[in-house]
Structure 1
Amino acid sequence: MLFVIHLCSLMAAVVMAEGDVMLPYHPQNTAFHPQRRVTSAKSLVTMLLLKENKKLADKLEQVKLDSELSNLALQTKLEALEMKIETRPRSTRCYMGMKFGDIPDSAITASSQVDVKHSPARARLDTEMTGDNFRGGWAASTPVSDEWIQVDLGSSLPIAGVILQGRSDMNEWVKTYKVQCDSVTIQEYGVDKIFIGNTDRDTKVVGKFHHPLKCQIVRIVPVSFQVHVTLRFELISGKCFDEY
């Protein structure tokens, strides 16, 4: 309705500008030409419609451009974020929380411990001896192969494997071990898989699974060891399977 009023106003203005709208009709009045006035009005309508269409087309084009720019900006931000994530150290991206403390002490339990100084919480990767109160690793109460240590992740998560270390303050480490995923021992060729552990106290040795496994509770069961059953460890996220 507003457009029609606007159109009529413009037509009236143009017709009046021509100076022929105020003349009365008379057969001898050569200034009044009905056919010319009709043609002029049609041309004016066509011109106005083209003008309005162009405005709408320009607005639509601007909306499209703004949308494309917005999408480009969003894509650029996403690519920057992905690059930032990918350039983080592998340990930050792939470790599941033992080393950096995301897994609480209460989620780490064991079959036994020598004392509070050798508690399961001391089994975090890269743990160092702290004074006389805390030792550099978890240590079972007895040097036998049926001891174990486990972590409860709180929910079932994909895991690519484990990283094992020996005890940081003594020459003690686990040489070989088994891994259980929710009480089921990982197997290879139909028998329990024996993972290769450490040969010294500090080297990090990766025990990679054949494929990522979804587990909530991961248990490490030492099979053979150097002097005593003691270790530090980390879990590798399933998303990093191809990086190890």
Structure 2
Amino acid sequence: MQPIFVPEPNMNTWINIEKDFNSKWNFPNCIGAINGKHVNIRAPPNSGSQFFNYKKIFSVVILALVDANYKFTIIDTGSYGKNSDGAIFNHSLMGKRLMNNSLGVPADQAVMNTTSPHVIVGDEAFPLKRNLMRPFPRENLNFSKRIFNYRLSRCRRVAENAFSIYTQQWRVFQKPFQCKVELTDKIIKATAVLHNFLRSSINEHTSTSEITPESASDNDSSNAFSRMRKVGNNSTREAFEVRNKFMEYFLSEEGSVPWQADMVVNRR
């Protein structure tokens, strides 16, 4: 089932995902929302503090890239619980391939009066990159930056909601895994494939707004299950410029949505 429901993404995959994010979540050039999820496990023998996380439990981390319909595009599994989402991304094959332009992502395309790259959206845990957008730091935000943060948050919460659907659907995630880490890794992959299988059936009959961001709280490189590799994490001047372009677009007549100002003011 994996080649059917979690296939290796190609350019057509990204084009279709971008269209969905633009039409459903009002974010052009977006090819995915990224987020991490801790899976509670029994402490592996002789593992020291590697799996011990900030929640004071032992865990492995799932890092997932999610499309606009709450389906997993790429899954990275088995990372140590002590690592942050950003660190895991920086060492993942997904991150490395995004940085070296080998994920088959389409070329830059027009956003308003300029061209911008296709991007993934994430929260503050992730680094700012040319193809990876994160919010502006929360200190001393002006109105324009708050609008950008709201629009990015609205889009990236698709990944949070996907994990919520996923873990509620499979009761095995409601208590600590008692098996070896290797088997936990396989269970995560298998349930991710089944999640996409079910979402493919549901999406034909369900409203795309069944869970909206506004309602939520603020191994082998030949397939979509990526494994860990090393990659740097320094932001560049170009990444800041890309983020500013999106901010300008969200404030423009073409790119604004009617409710964004109220959402920003009411959440002050």
Q: Which has the higher strand share?
A: 1
Question: What is the TM-score normalised by the length of structure 1?
Answer: 0.20
Larger RCO of the pair (alpha carbons < 8 Å, separation 6+): 2
Give the number of the structure whose alpha-carbon radius of gyration is greater.
1
